[in-house]
Amino acid sequence: MDLNLIRIIETVALFVIFLVLIYLLFKKRDKKIYQDAAKLPFVGDETSNIIEFENTIEIEKNKGENHE
């Protein structure tokens, strides 16, 4: 086999793999999964704000108690 033939086969194979990956990523069936994943960074902010609020309430309750 000639070295150029091996390079041609490798290039064509990698291009086919690339096209298959693009097809798998943009299937309509998985659109909801990707939309949910895109919202994940924003969901964490709400959750952390709730946890911080709950911690603040607990601290305020503890300040009002007498610790003798």
| Average pLDDT over all residues of the chain | 78
For 37-58, b/e burial (b = at least 16 CB within 10 A) is eeeeeeeeeeeeeeeeeeeeee
Q: What is the pLDDT of residue 24?
A: 85
Q: What is the pTM of this model?
A: 0.46
Q: How confident is the model at residue 26 (pLDDT cuts 50, 70, 90)?
A: confident
- The whole domain housing 17 covers 3-64
Q: Tens digits of per-residue pLDDT, 38-66? A: 887 777 655 566 666 666 766 666 666 65
Q: Which amino acid would we find at residue 37?
A: A
When mean pLDDT is compared across 11-15, 17-21, 61-65, the lowest value belongs to 61-65
How many domains are there within the chain? 1
**Token pair belonging to 48:** 């952390």
